[in-house]
Amino acid sequence: MVGEVRILVTFQRAQERLKEVLEMPEQDSTRVIRSLKENGWHVSGKLKQAYPQLEKQELAERVVEALARLLPLWSISYRDNILKPETVFGNDNPLILEIGFGMGETTQKIAQARPDDNFLGVEVFNAGVGALLKRIDDNQISNIRIIQHDAVEVVRDMIAPASLAGIHIYFPDPWPKKRHHKRRLVQSPFIQLLTSRLKPGGYIHCATDWENYAEQMLEVLSAEPMLSNTHDGYAPRPDFRPLTKFENRGLRLGHGVWDLIFTRNDTPTPELNWPKKE
């Protein structure tokens, strides 16, 4: 008889927390869980070695169960109405938006180092959402919330103008082939939309390890009249952005990393008319 496996969460602790939730919304957890079941879940080699008696399907089912318990606690459903951070977080601390948090390592470390800021992470991939949920639960972090949805729609529909203290975009997909550059996240229209959600003095911080993408980021951010560069070109990595294992490995191999930090100036926000999907 194999003992209880702790994959994403200690179920008893999650269950105790769940009792504290007065109203458990249906939200997107149903969709996420269904997607996991349909597509399967990556089970690490170490986990399979530790518990060879368990089949992959059984492990996946336990992951699904853990997600079902954690999603209602730390995630927010996408809705076509403005988010009220003071209701979601229970305070009016500064709100930082992170787009594409990957496996959540950086998000976790920054949130722990800055307990007086709130962090809203937007990610579309199941693996990243599950990993950050695990980090939140393992480390008892209370100042992170997750939205699993398209970032453009979240910013357009849920983030109020002039409400963000900061925006983090760390190592977005570089889409290295030239014909795919149009898919890159950092494009002028989206940066204009993002900037309109920043408070005056708020910042947008981008980082990439692709020089060509860094050049595009610098060009796009510099061309936005509502933004001012905090440095002459690229910025040194700020202390609050930790080095990830992946980044450290790249630096040892001589790979470059480029940070860009711009702040919202007093230029008035133009009227934005982002079309919505039919």
Q: What percent of the chain has pLDDT above 90?
A: 58
Hey, which residues are catalytic here? 173
Q: Are residues 26 and 84 in the same domain?
A: no
Structure tokens at 277: 């999907």
Residue 85 domain-assigned (yes or no):
yes
Supply the pTM of this predicted model.
Answer: 0.78
The helix/strand count (H/E) of the chain reads as 11, 7
Instruction: Supply the pLDDT for residue 65.
Output: 65
User: Is 83 found in the same domain as 65?
Assistant: no
**Is 4 part of a structural domain of the chain?**
no
Domain that holds residue 222: 77-264
Q: What is the mean pLDDT of the chain?
A: 81
The pLDDT tens digits of the residues spanning 196-208 come to: 999 999 999 999 9
Q: What is the pLDDT of residues 65-83, one digit of tens each?
A: 667 788 889 999 999 999 9
Residues in the chain: 278
Q: CA geometry: angle at 207 spanning 204 and 213, to 5°?
A: 110
Sequence letter at residue 132: L
Which pLDDT tens digit goes with each residue over 183-194? 999 999 999 999
Integer CA distances (angstroms), 232 to 209, 236, 260, in order = 19, 11, 10
Is 27 found in the same domain as 91? no
Backbone dihedral angles phi then psi of residue 198, each to the nearest 5 degrees: -85, 140
Structure tokens at 3: 């003992």
Residues 126 and 191 in one domain: yes
H helix or E strand, kind and range, residue 1:
none
C-alpha distances in Å from residue 184, one per residue of 17, 177, 191, 216, 233: 39, 11, 12, 10, 20
| Residues 2 and 54: beta-carbon distance below 8 Å | yes
The pLDDT, as a whole number, for residue 246 is 75
Q: What is the pLDDT of residues 87-131, one digit of tens each?
A: 999 999 999 999 999 889 999 999 999 999 999 999 998 878 888
Helix (H) or strand (E) holding 119: strand 118-122
First vs last C-alpha separation in the chain? 52
Regarding whether 97 and 32 lie in a shared domain, the answer is no
In a domain, 6, yes or no: no
Q: 157: which residues sit within 8 A by CB, 6+ positions away?
A: 78, 79, 80, 81, 82, 276
Q: Which of 55, 74, 93 lies at the terminal end of a domain, its last residue?
A: 74
Cα torsion for 8, 136, 90, 23, to the nearest 10°? 0
Lowest mean pLDDT among 10-19, 78-87, 104-113, 230-239: 10-19
Check whether residue 88 and residue 70 sit in a common domain: no
Q: 272 in a domain, yes or no?
A: no
Say which amino acid occupies 119: F
Confidence of residue 8 (pLDDT cuts 50, 70, 90): very low
Q: For residue range 132-151, list pLDDT tens digits in order.
A: 998 998 899 999 999 999 99
106 in the same domain as 53: no
Among residues 85, 79, 81, 74, which one has the least CA distance to residue 199?
Answer: 85
Q: Which of 155, 139, 75 is nearest to 105 (CA)?
A: 139
Whether residue 87 sits in one domain with residue 70: no
**How far is 87 from 65, CA to CA, in rounded Å?**
27
Question: How many domains does the chain contain in total?
Answer: 2
pLDDT of amino acid 248: 84
Give the torsion sign (CA, 174, 67, 36, 246).
Answer: positive
Q: DSSP E strands: which ranges in 140-197?
A: 144-147, 164-170
